[in-house]
Amino acid sequence: MHNKNKTLDFYVKQAWHSIYKMYNAVGEEYGITQAEGLVLLNIPKEGIPVTQIGPEVGIESTSLSRMLNKLEKKGGFFGK
């Protein structure tokens, strides 16, 4: 079905998909995913409690813990 009068959510999703693809391409150069890059971008140099990162980036704590462990092994950061 083709709708000439597309709704706002269609354009938001289309824009997000383009941004997601762009960040995945950049992350691929560094061996990380878009989600991993988003997490790293939200960790300030002085550090942040892991309990604050999840809500800020919209990732559940169990998924975030796995991701942070993986990133730490890659040398993306050092946890305390």
Q: For the chain, first and last CA: distance in Å?
A: 53
The Cα–Cα gap between 9 and 68 comes to 31
pTM reported for the whole predicted model? 0.68
Residue 80 has pLDDT above 70, yes or no: no
Model pLDDT, residue 66: 92
| Stretch 15-29: mean pLDDT | 91
Provide the residue ranges of all domains of the chain, joining segments of one domain with +: 8-74
